[in-house]
Amino acid sequence: MERKISRREKECEEKHSNSEGSEQDKDYKTSLITLNVGGYLYITQKQTLTKYPDSFLEGIINGKIMCPFDADGHYFIDRDGLLFRHILNFLRNGELLLPEGFRENQLLAQEAEFFQLKVLSDAVKSRWEKEQLASRETTFLEITDSHDRSQGLRIFCNAPEFIAKIKSRIVLVSKSRLDGFPEEFSVSSNIIQFKYFIKSENGTRLVLKEDNTFVCTLETLKFEAIMMALKCGFRLLTSLDCSKGSIVHSDALHFIK
């Protein structure tokens, strides 16, 4: 036989339920931490900041390290507030993820050491070393004749991304001028090879369509490369073949920042 729930029992159950909900809300709120890092406010969870035992942040949250508070009662850490976003993202993701073109590796490594995050410090230093090695490696682009690879233009640069940019630009120019004749040049990793790259009577090498129409010259491609390099902050280190007497007559260009 079912027993009717008295009004008093119902009130007690509701009060108990509300009490549990209140406790859960309280626990959730206390798990949120606001940090003032160099004037920048960051709100995150306690478990994120304590992810790595013996780190500076774990020490603060668990009372092992004394930390001052700002006027609003937030933990105040006198460090680089902008770079701290990368520290926090590392704690959240467990790996180093930086935006394209990031150039503050040395500063980030110092921040990682301050926060006593050795894993992050090692990851930043490894990334930095790889970038330094890549910057010393000279890459190249070769624009040549499919019948005579000794003739053409070679572009050298210590920035692989710039070589890729020049390559895309020259391919774009070539496609626009060889409209309807895409088979007249091929592209591989470091080579653009023209099918009808010929030498004219005055010594200029030109791209030639099947109807014997001159499309562009090597000088055109050289000027494209030189103008792009200057706009991107590179300088022409030297012409690798100075015997021609002029940059536009040389067979190779070397750019560096």
Per-residue model confidence as pLDDT tens digits over 23-44: 555 444 468 999 999 999 999 9
* HEC profile of 169-194: HHHHHHHHHCCCCHHHEEECCCEEEE
Q: What pLDDT, on the 0 to 100 scale, is given for residue 63?
A: 94
Predicted pLDDT of residue 150? 60
Of residues 185 and 181, more confidently modeled: 185
Q: How many CB atoms lie within 10 A of CB 20?
A: 10
The model's confidence at residue 2, banded by pLDDT at 50, 70 and 90, is very low
- Greatest distance between any 2 Cα atoms in the chain: 113
Report the percent of the chain where pLDDT is more than 70: 63
Average pLDDT estimate for 116-132: 89
For residue 22, the model assigns a pLDDT of 53
Report how far residue 37's alpha carbon sits from residue 6's, in angstroms, rounded to the nearest whole number: 55
Read off the pLDDT of residues 232-243 as tens digits, 9 standing for 90 and up.
Answer: 888 887 554 445
**Strand, coil or helix: what is 210?**
coil
Q: What is the rounded distance in angstroms from the CA atom of residue 94 to the CA atom of residue 100? A: 19
What is residue 190's predicted lDDT score, i.e. its pLDDT?
A: 74
Length reported for the chain: 257
Q: Is the pLDDT of residue 180 over 60?
A: no
Q: Bigger pLDDT: 45 or 194?
A: 45
Give the pLDDT of residue 96. 93
Identify the residue with better confidence: 128 or 136: 128
Q: What is the pLDDT of residues 66-86, one digit of tens each?
A: 999 999 999 999 999 999 999
pLDDT tens digits along 85-107 = 999 999 999 999 998 778 899 99
Structural domains of the chain sorted by starting position, each given as residue range(s) with its CATH number in brackets: 32-135 (3.30.710.10), 140-256 (no CATH)
Q: Between residues 128 and 109, which one has the greater pLDDT?
A: 109
Q: What is the pLDDT of residues 138-170, one digit of tens each?
A: 577 777 766 655 667 788 887 777 888 878 877
User: Which residue carries 């001159």 as its tokens?
Assistant: 214
- Work out whether strand 75-77 and strand 152-157 pair parallel, antiparallel, or are unpaired: unpaired
Q: What does the block give as tokens for 60?
A: 């603060």
pLDDT of residue 28: 44
Amino acid 176: pLDDT: 65
The model's pTM is: 0.49
